[in-house]
Amino acid sequence: MAIGASPDSLAGQARRLYTEELVKGLVPLVQTAIDTARNLLDKPSEHTVFARRRDLFQALNSGAQAWHRGIVVGLRQALAPGAAGSRGLDFPLPSTGREAALSLVSDDTIELEIVTSRLALAIMDKASWEFADLRSRIAHLENRGELDPQDMLRAHVLARIVFDAWRAAGQTLEGWRELQPVLHDEFALLVEEAYHETNRWLVDHRVLPEVDLRPFIRRSRTHPNAPGGWQAGTGFSDSRHDAGRNLGNATGYGSGAASYAGNSGGGAYGGPASGRGGVGEETRMMTRGAPLARNREHAEAVLGRLNRLIGRHVPEFANSTRSAGLAAGADAPAQAMSPGLARAIETAQQGIRQRLSTTLQGGEAVVTAPVMLEEMHQRKQVLKKAAASPEERATIEIVALLFQSILTEDRIPAAVRVWFARLQMPVLRVAVTEPDFFATIDHPARRLIDRMGACVMGFDSATAGSVAGKPNEALEKEIKRIVQVVEAYPDTGRRVFQTVLTEFEKFLEHYFRNENEATKRGVSLAQQVEQRETMAIQYTIELRKMLNEVPVQEGVRQFLFHVWADVLATTGVRYGAQGAQTKQMKRAAADLIWSASAKVTREERAEVIRRLPLLLKSLREGMASAGMETGKQDEHIQQLNNSLAAAFTAKAAVIPDDRLRELMERLETLEELLPEAADVDIDESMVLDLSGHQNSELEVVLDGGSMPTPAMVAWARELQVGSWYMLDRGGHSEAVQLAWHGLRKQLSLFVTPQGRCVLFQQHRLASYLQAGLMLPAQDEALTVRATRSALAKLDVDASRLLN
C-alpha cells in the first residue's frame, strides 16, 4: 500500500478515478449512438419504422448534450461525500417479498427496472472479472466483507444513472430499445476499461496485487450427499473460475434473464437466501449461464483488452485485427509479410530447430527455461530489426510474450516444453499474415496449443499426461510429429494448423482407447456398459411394441420391460445375439408370456404348473447373470408367482395360438427389429440399473449434483477428451482426465492418474457441472493465460511494442 495514504483515502481516489474514466469515454460513446441512429435512418424500412427512426435521430441529435450532461451530473452526485460506499443512493432496493405489503406497480416502473437490469447484465457479462478484482480491493481498503448494494461501483447504479439521464433528456423508451444492442456493447466496453484502469492504479499502489476471491464465494447445502452437507465450490474456493460463476449473486444480478424479476431465489443484491435455503440456491443455479460460455466471454474479453491497448500505440494493428475479426467466419485474407522479416523468421526457425534438436539426444531435454527465454529475447531483437513496419514489430513482441508465458509454465513437462518452443516461429508467421489470430479465440493455431496444453497440464507435472509418473512416450511422440508437420509447411498458415488439430483429436481417441495403460481397460468396460445399456433400451422399446395389444398380466409386463430386457442385453453382449444362452433367455421370455396369459381350461393350468419350476430356474439364472442380488431375485419371483396365480382366475381374453406363435418368432429374431443404436437415448429415466456395472475397476456415478439446465447438458457434451478436471466426490477432491465419450456423448469416462475409472451418464455429468462438483482443472486455456500475462507486461511498459 502506498506510504502515507490511508485506506479510506485510496478507496475514495479509486472511485474518483473510476468516475473520470467513465466521463472520459462518454463523448465518443454518445457520438457512436448518434452515428448508429443516423445509419438506421439510412436503411430501407417500412414507413412506420422509418418514422420511428427519424424521430429517434432528431431527438437524439438535439438532446445528446443533455443526455451526456445528465450522466456526468449523476456520476458526480454518486461520487459526492457520503454517497459512495457508505450510504445508498436514492434507488429502491428490491422487496424481500414476505414482509412487504402488496401494492400495484406501474408499467413504467416495471419497464424502468427491466431496461436498467438488462443494461447492468450486459455490463457484467463483459466486465465481471475486472469487477471481481476491484470489489475485493475496495472491500479490503474499507475493511468490509462486501460492497454496499448501492455502491457507485456496481453496474446497476451506473445503469440507473444512464437511463434516468436518457429520460430526462427527452428520449423515449422506444428509442432506447432501437439502440439497445449498441448501447449495451458500448457501455460494457467502457465500464470494463474503467474497472481495468482502476485496478491497475490500485495495484500500482500495492493494494492486493494478488486477489483472493474466497470471501465472495457462496456455499450452499443443496444436496444431502455432498461432503459435510456443503456443496458447490467445496475445495475450489480459491479459483477465479468459481468467483466468476458466482458473481451474479454477489453483484446483485444473476446471469439469467429471470434475474430482474424479483428475488424469490435468494438474495438478489447479495443478501442472504430465503429460509428455504436449498431451493433458493437451486433456483439461482438454474438461472446462471453456462461456465463454458462464460469462459469464452472471458477469453474474448482478454483478447479485446489486448487489442485496445495495442491499438492506442499502433493504430494500424487495431484496424487490421478488427477487419480480420469481422472476416473470421470465412477465410480471412492473408496479409503480405515483408521480405526481410520472412528471411529472418526462416533463419530463426532453422536455428531453433538445430539448437533444440541437439538437446534431445538421448531423449532428455537439457535446455532450461531461463536459457530458452534468453535465446528468445535475442531472437526477438533480431526479428524486430528485420521488421518493416510498426505492426510487424508489435506482432513480434506479442508472440514473444505469449511464448515466454507458455515456456515458463511449470505444469508443462520439460520434454514437451521443447516442442512448444519450436512452435514459436510458425505461430509468428501466422500472426503476421493472419491478424485474426489476435481477433478470435477460435483460430486453429490457438486451439492446437490449448488442446496440447490441456492434455499435458495435470495437477502434478510428474504425472500429467503420464502413467504412475513415467514419461508418456506416445503423447510426446504425437506432439513432436505435429510440430514437425507444422514446420514442414511454413507457408500453409491456418490450414496446416487445422489439419494437425483434427489429427490430434483423432489420435487422442485412439490413444486412450488402445494405448494408455491407465485408461484402455476402463474404456473397454465403458464401451461394454454402453453396448449393454443401449441394447437394454432397444429390447425394452421392442418388447413394448410386441406386447402393446397382448392381454398379459401387468406385473409380468413390467418385469419384462424393467428386468428381462436388461437380462437379454447382458447375455447378448456376453455371448452374442445368436448364442445358446441368449436364445435360452428369449425362450424363457416366451414361456413367461404364455404362462401369464389367461388360462380357462384345466389342461392349460396343469401345463403351466408342470413347466413352472423350469421357467423359474431360467428366470433366476438370467437375473443372476445380469448381476442382480438374491434378495431382489426373490422379490421378483414372488411378484411373478402372484401374477401367474392371477392368470388362473383372469377373465381376460385368451391369446390365440397363432398370435403366440408370432410372438415366439419375433422374439427369436428380435435383433433384426431393434431400433438403430444412434436413435437410442441413454437417459437416466430409461437406464435399468447402472449399479450392476459397479466393480473394482469401474465406478458408475449414480447420485449427486443438482438439476442441470439445458446449457449445462450442452456443456457436458462439449468437454474434450484429454482435458483435466477436478472431481469432488466421496468427501475429497481429485484430478481426473476425460478419456472417452460414448455414442452421441451419452456416457463419459474419467480416469484418475492412478488408473481408477469413473463413468458418468450425460445428465449426471451435467448435474455435477451444475453443482460445481466437477470443474476444469485449468480455469483458463493456455493461450488465454499467456495473453493475460502479456497484457500485464504491456500495461507496465507499452513502449516495448515498438522498441
Same domain, 394 and 454: yes
Q: Decide if 268 is inside a domain.
A: no
Could you report the per-residue pLDDT of 54-95, keeping only the tens digit for each?
Answer: 899 999 999 999 999 999 999 988 887 655 433 334 444 444
What is the pLDDT, as a whole number, of residue 165? Answer: 94
Instruction: Note the pLDDT tens digit of each residue in 432-449.
Output: 998 788 888 889 999 999
Q: Specify the pLDDT at position 795.
A: 84
Domain end call among 679, 698, 730: 679
* Boundary-marking domain end, from 658, 679, 700: 679
Coil, strand or helix at 211: coil
Residue 17, Cβ neighbours under 10 Å: how many?
16
Whether residues 435 and 318 share a domain: the answer is yes
Q: Give a yes or no: residue 630 inside a domain.
A: yes
> Domain range for residue 715?
690-779
State what percent of residues in the chain have pLDDT above 70: 73
Q: Are residues 791 and 744 in the same domain?
A: no
DSSP tag of 207: S
Specify whether 654 is located in the same domain as 738: no
Flag whether pLDDT at 496 surpasses 90. Answer: yes
672 CB burial (10 A radius; 0-12, 13-18, 19+): exposed
Per-residue pLDDT, 323: 52
Q: Is the pTM of the predicted complex or chain greater than 0.85?
A: no
Domain membership flag for residue 722: yes
Q: What is the pLDDT of residue 427?
A: 94
Neighbours of 25 (CB within 10 A): 17
**Sign, CA torsion 598/604/608/611:** negative
Residues 169, 171, 176, 179, Cα dihedral to 10°: -90
Q: What integer best gives the mean pLDDT of the chain? A: 76
What is the residue whose three cell numbers read 469515454?
A: 25
Q: Let me know: does 536 contact 565? Beta carbons within 8 Å.
A: yes
Q: What's residue 293's pLDDT?
A: 54
State residue 746 phi and psi, 5-degree precision: -85, -20
CATH number of 763's domain? 2.30.30
For residue 500, name the pLDDT band (cuts at 50, 70, 90): very high
Is pLDDT of 220 > 50? no
733 and 671 in one domain?
Answer: no
Name the domain count of the chain.
4
Q: Measure the CA dihedral 410/411/417/423, to 10°.
A: -110
Contact by Cβ (8 Å): 243, 217: yes
Last residue of a domain, one of 233, 262, 284: 233
Whether 253 is covered by a domain: the verdict is: no
Side-chain-side CA neighbours of residue 92 (13 Å): 9
Q: Is residue 486 part of a domain?
A: yes
* Beta bridge mates, 700: 759
* pLDDT at residue 539 greater than cutoff 80: no
Residues 397 and 427 reside in one and the same domain: yes
The DSSP secondary structure of 121-168, one letter per residue, reads HHHHHHHHHHHHHHHHHHHHHTT-SS--TT-TTSHHHHHHHHHHHHHH
Contacts of 741 (CB under 8 A, 6+ apart): 719, 721, 747, 748
Residue 533 sits in the same domain as residue 649 = yes
3-class state of residue 274 by DSSP: coil
Phi, psi of 118 (to 5 degrees): -65, -40
User: Which has more confidence, 212 or 396?
Assistant: 396
Q: For residue 257, give the DSSP letter.
A: G
Q: How is residue 94 annotated by DSSP?
A: P
pLDDT at 408 over 60: yes
Mean pLDDT in residue range 447-456: 90
284 domain-assigned: no
**Same domain, yes or no: 321 and 390:** yes
* Same domain, residue pair 578 and 611: yes
Sign of the CA dihedral with 532 first, then 537, 540, and 545 last: negative
135 and 59 housed in the same domain: yes
Residue 147 — very low, low, confident or very high, per pLDDT cuts 50/70/90?
A: confident
Question: How far, in Å, CA of 137 to CA of 202, rounded?
Answer: 8
Structural domain includes residue 773: yes
Residues 212 and 134 in one domain: yes
SS3 695: strand
Q: How far apart are CA 75 and CA 191, in angstroms?
A: 13
Q: Establish if 249 belongs to a structural domain.
A: no
pLDDT one-digit tens code per residue, 6-60: 777 888 899 999 999 999 999 999 999 998 998 888 887 777 888 888 899 999 9
Over 80: is that where the pLDDT of 533 sits? no
pLDDT of residue 64: 92
773 and 791 housed in the same domain: no
